[in-house]
Chain A
């Protein structure tokens, strides 16, 4: 397959109208890009982890070694946990919103309001 054609096919859409969830579909578009970047950062982090582990093991490394590296059970679990933590960091805004929904004591006051409040005599 010709490279540009391959890339086009790899990134092809499925048949069926794509759902957009926000009033402004630019938000959906931006999110799709941000989330793809999040995925690629995770991929980079995993690759770096592979390099570090290999370096620690051997002090030398080759491309082929990276390509064929497979984590053992413990390393896979550590890497999985790192990703869970990482994804939770990225989804901070949802977590905070959920916590606010859960907590009856959640404060709706803004720093701007407080700024005015504390400026009063």
Chain B
């Protein structure tokens, strides 16, 4: 399903990938120096004490010339990434649409529902500065939003998530096999699947399971379904539905997971989604959610840097999610009798891809994730 690239289109993404590398390598460190050597002192002179938290650091840094330049460049890079992706995809939008149509035609494993609406937390601003976000439909059966996401993500993650951008799903499947050797979940649910980058590896790791991948975006599901078919995966159903109210009966799934999804929701939606997970999880099952690490225990300056994407790359729930103590929230919302856990998931990628061992993590773009979930006891059998 991937779009075709011309020579200069690849070169544009190469430039952006190398730009990200320089920015997150030698350039980003100047912000900490600027803070330590002038912004903190300036704030202290004005307010009588040093900035107390990341919000005050942000206010203190707002006027700093290094931070201004770094931010303006970074924002430009985000916009150029979208421009570059759209330049590749929109010129061939009809051809991509036709290819997806041919692969999707009459398939019962693609279940779209036009009554699903885009909630405020997804519609107010376009996610990561993607014009039209995940939802724009420029024509009937449009897949361009998904094709742009797919094409650009490889470039911006410089191969860290693998050739098929499935490192998180692959890592999750690997983790699950370590945690439960020999276990065969019959029903697997991927919430907020997008175009299914991380649904495919679970479907492949558990070929006897039925995997359901849910998202609210029709373009992502159309493209994702066609892509999975093209990859020869058949035990994977893409369904348009809201993760806040899922059209499945109680205890429908043995394994439920999300990858980089919860930070794109809201305070209310997060709680609704986790309650749905509680309702849908079968006895003996487990659920896990991959995100960037929570802010607890981090230095305030690092939190401030990690917050950049929240305010300037349109990730509005980012800062709140990373302040939320998810293990506590899971316990509060139900999950009675479950064992709550936290862990770390590493991307599983092809041998020739760069390993997690990139020296500097780019504040949310590394090949490893914080993960939280709970494990449900099996019913006690009378013997």
| Stretch in B122-130, B258-266, B341-349, B359-367 touching the partner | B122-130
Q: Could you list 19 further interchain pairs (A-B, Cβ under 8 angstroms) beyond the known A20-B72, A35-B73?
A: A1-B91, A9-B86, A11-B83, A15-B126, A15-B133, A16-B129, A28-B72, A31-B72, A35-B77, A36-B80, A46-B8, A47-B8, A80-B17, A84-B18, A88-B22, A94-B66, A95-B26, A98-B66, A101-B37
CA distance A27 to B73 in the complex (A): 11
Q: How large is the interface on B (under 10, 10 to 19, 20 to 34, 35 or more residues)?
A: 35 or more
User: Is the CB–CB distance between B80 and A39 below 8 Å?
Assistant: yes
Q: Does A13 contact B (CB under 8 A)?
A: yes
CA distance A38 to B79 in the complex (A): 14
Q: Does B208 contact A (CB under 8 A)?
A: no
> Taking A19-B311, A98-B33 as contacts, is the C-beta distance between A83 and B15 under 8 angstroms?
yes
- From DSSP, what is the main secondary structure of chain A's interface residues? helix
Question: CB-CB < 8 A to A67: which residues of B?
Answer: 6-7
Contact mask A8-33 → B, CB, 8 Å, 1/0? 01111111101111110001100110
Q: Does A102 contact B (CB under 8 A)?
A: yes
Q: Does A61 contact B (CB under 8 A)?
A: no
CA distance A49 to B124 in the complex (A): 43
> Taking A15-B126, A19-B71, A19-B311 as contacts, is the C-beta distance between A10 and B33 under 8 angstroms?
no
User: Which residues from 182 to 235 on chain B have a C-beta closer than 8 Å to any C-beta of chain A?
Assistant: none
Contact mask A59-91 → B, CB, 8 Å, 1/0? 000000011111000000001100110011001
Contact mask B73-110 → A, CB, 8 Å, 1/0? 10111011011001100110110000000000000000
CA distance A57 to B82 in the complex (A): 35
| Most central of A19, A93, A95, A98 by chain B CB within 10 Å | A98
CA distance A64 to B33 in the complex (A): 49
- From DSSP, what is the main secondary structure of chain B's interface residues? helix
User: Is the CB–CB distance between A14 and B129 below 8 Å?
Assistant: yes
Q: Does A97 contact B (CB under 8 A)?
A: yes
Smallest Cβ-Cβ distance to B37: which chain A residue: A101
CA distance A97 to B8 in the complex (A): 33
Q: How large is the interface on A (under 10, 10 to 19, 20 to 34, 35 or more residues)?
A: 35 or more
User: Which residues from 1 to 57 on chain B have a C-beta closer than 8 Å to any C-beta of chain A?
Assistant: 6-8, 10-12, 14-19, 21-22, 26-27, 29-30, 33-34, 37-38
Q: List 28 A-B contacts (CB under 8 A).
A: A1-B90, A1-B94, A6-B91, A9-B131, A11-B83, A11-B86, A13-B79, A14-B132, A14-B314, A21-B72, A22-B72, A35-B77, A36-B76, A39-B15, A42-B18, A43-B12, A46-B8, A67-B7, A70-B10, A80-B18, A83-B18, A84-B22, A87-B19, A87-B22, A88-B26, A93-B69, A97-B30, A101-B34
Question: CB-CB < 8 A to B133: which residues of A?
Answer: 14-15
User: Is the CB–CB distance between A91 and B22 below 8 Å?
Assistant: yes
Question: CB-CB < 8 A to A43: which residues of B?
Answer: 8, 11-12, 15
Question: CB-CB < 8 A to B12: which residues of A?
Answer: 39, 43
User: Which residues from 306 to 338 on chain B have a C-beta closer than 8 Å to any C-beta of chain A?
Assistant: 311-312, 314
Q: Does B370 contact A (CB under 8 A)?
A: no
CA distance A112 to B138 in the complex (A): 58
